[in-house]
Structure 1
Amino acid sequence: MGNLKDKFTFLQGGVFLGSTDNYVDSWICILGLPLDVTSTFRPGSRFAPQSIRSVSEVLEEFSPFLKRDLKEVAFCDLGDLELVPGRIRENLTRIEEVASEVWKDGKLLLSLGGEHLVSYPLIRAARSHYPELAVLHFDAHADLREEYQGEKYSHATVMRLVAEEIGPSHLYQLGIRSCTWEEWVYGSENTNLFLDHIELPLSRLLPELKGRPLYLTLDIDVVDPAYAPGTGTPEPGGCRPQDIFSALYLLKDAHIIGLDIVEVSPAYDMGNITSILAAKLVREAILAFGPSYQNKMHPY
């Protein structure tokens, strides 16, 4: 196992609460992916990774719900992967290459977008290491278009690309409340599409998903914009933050091999509440999915 930073260029500018720069000894790696090329309504998600890191300092390292502390988990913050402005396919290749290296080293990858398109190369890389991969998709939008504004690679087509990559029956879409008629037909007939709700369908799916390697992709707009206004395509009628946290807790014993949090757009945030929500989701995910140091467990 080599040092990933010898192979790729990462941009620094703040680190996540409690993280280190020790890649070799880490179980979980945070990776910023400031891709923001195909956003169509409100761009700006390229600034999300740094915003999420900067506000993470407002949080405690201890989670009273999981009764664990970040000091118990070996995790590093790699920084933001250097991307080339405007070059979609080149950037997708770079993301896939770095993600593949992380999984080759047996680590869990936690990525911060950027627009939702980053999930496609991440999931391609994950599937090359975990052929039986299933994907859990939390989002307001189905993202199942074949193309959008003449572009195959888009934040609006990302889950169609994922479905074609892993097989649509291995894609589980929860919280969806916005789609075209064509997306609804495709999703209803091919993927596992659940409208609006997250916690109840997820609890029913857990026996089916038990033991399978799972990748979780979380578009922050799955949360109602009353709680998460800082996003590129807000969609009224979403869930509460508590519902997303409950979903993470339901998955704490699942075989999560990677996850991403995407579509935070700090320029449209109010008081950084969306970035803080994303930062807390990162903390809870690290504590829910990360193995502990043997000598630092809380006596609960």
Structure 2
Amino acid sequence: MLNKNIETFIGCDNDYQEAELVLFGAPFDSTTSFRPGTRFASKAMRGESFGIETYSPYQDKDLEDISVFDGGDLELIFGNTEKVLGQIEEYTSKIVTDGKIPVMIGGEHLVTLGAVRAVAKQYPDLHVVQFDAHADLREDYLGEPLSHATVIHRVWDILGDNRIFQFGIRSGDRSEFAWGKDRVFTNKFNLDGLEEVVEQLKGKPVYLTIDLDVLDPSVFPGTGTPEAGGISFMDLLHGILTASGLNIVACDVNELSPIYDQSGVSTAVACKVLRELLLAINTNQS
């Protein structure tokens, strides 16, 4: 029998009604401050995902055994950042209102703001855990308050003090670190201290955002703003498995720019990170 050719991320072809997790892409990179291209990440990851297995030997779990619906990419407006954030917020709100967990593929990191706006309305006590090379705490970037360089400051505008926990940070303006000192928890360079934060946040709703440039460029060169001195894939995997002890109510993986790694290795790494994240969230929810 002939069927429509609908490409999904490997193992994520369940129906929406039965799914516990809803995967979707937000192909947006209009505020990228250095090298654009993250809008192509979700499409590249779906195609390349069939180069990995649905089974994870790290967790002894399989995507075939969980319920994930891949809703495809949002059709985002060009030229109006606030409307784009509104589209992401509206779609995310539908998912959380239906009692499911949104898992977003960026796009640049600003897409996180649209999702957090929706999730914070559903979970007023929301906390954010961020894996990233960059602090993203600027008040504005070249006068613009909506930027991937300001996204976590905008998230702070919603959540307030002591509800954002950053790991792997190794880049930012001096003023960002000074501003954030008494407002957010920042662990520089690595994921040390994550276990203590997981214990501290036990039972609280958490949004986990993974900027893939937290990885060292030797592991993950395919990103718009690579920063030397990052963590390894195994470090990130350990962080994801540790974070599975959190009550993750929403999450994202962002900042893959596949055009800067023609070998395809960065896209393959991103696919594997997403697979492990999906399986780890399911473990926490079961």
Residue 112 to residue 13, structure 1, CA distance change in 2 (3 Å): farther
Give the drift of 1:270.
3.7
Give the drift of 1:121.
1.0
RMSD: 1.6
Other structure's SS at 2:32 match: coil
Letter of the structure 2 residue corresponding to residue 206 of structure 1: V
TM-score by length of structure 2 reads: 0.95
1:154 aligns with 2:147: yes
Answer whether contact 1:230 1:268 (CA < 8 A) is retained.
yes
1:207 to 195, 199, 203: 199
Match in the other structure for 1:119: 112
Other structure's SS at 1:116 match: coil
Answer whether contact 2:42 2:73 (CA < 8 A) is retained.
yes
1:278 aligns with 2:270: yes
Q: For 1:1-300, what aligned pairs fall within 5 Å after superposition? A: 14-20=7-13, 22-198=15-191, 200-290=192-282
Residue 240 to residue 137, structure 1, CA distance change in 2 (3 Å): same
Letter of the structure 1 residue corresponding to residue 174 of structure 2: W
Answer whether contact 2:244 2:283 (CA < 8 A) is retained.
no
Give the drift of 1:291.
5.6
Letter of the structure 2 residue corresponding to residue 261 of structure 1: V
Measure the CA separation in 1 of the matches of 2:161 and 2:189: 19
Other structure's SS at 1:154 match: coil
Letter of the structure 2 residue corresponding to residue 184 of structure 1: F
Deviations 1:39-69 (A, max 9, x none): 1211010000011111110111111111111
The runs of at least 4 consecutive aligned structure 1 residues that moved more than 4 Å come to 291-294
Number of corresponding residues: 282
Letter of the structure 2 residue corresponding to residue 90 of structure 1: K
Unaligned 5+ runs, structure 1: 1-11, 295-300
Measure the CA separation in 1 of the matches of 2:131 and 2:74: 24
Measure the CA separation in 2 of the matches of 1:113 and 1:252: 21
Answer whether contact 1:142 1:183 (CA < 8 A) is retained.
yes
Residue 292 to residue 254, structure 1, CA distance change in 2 (3 Å): closer
Unaligned 5+ runs, structure 2: none
Measure the CA separation in 2 of the matches of 1:165 and 1:136: 15
Letter of the structure 2 residue corresponding to residue 29 of structure 1: V
Match in the other structure for 1:3: none
Deviations 1:131-179 (A, max 9, x none): 1111001110000000001111000000000011111310001100001
Deviations 1:202-254 (A, max 9, x none): 01212101111111111111000110000000010000011110011112232
Residue 280 to residue 96, structure 1, CA distance change in 2 (3 Å): same
Q: 15-24 vs 29-38, which deviates more?
A: 15-24
Measure the CA separation in 2 of the matches of 1:152 and 1:293: 35
Letter of the structure 1 residue corresponding to residue 102 of structure 2: L
Letter of the structure 2 residue corresponding to residue 179 of structure 1: G
Other structure's SS at 1:289 match: helix
Measure the CA separation in 2 of the matches of 1:112 and 1:102: 15
Answer whether contact 2:95 2:102 (CA < 8 A) is retained.
yes
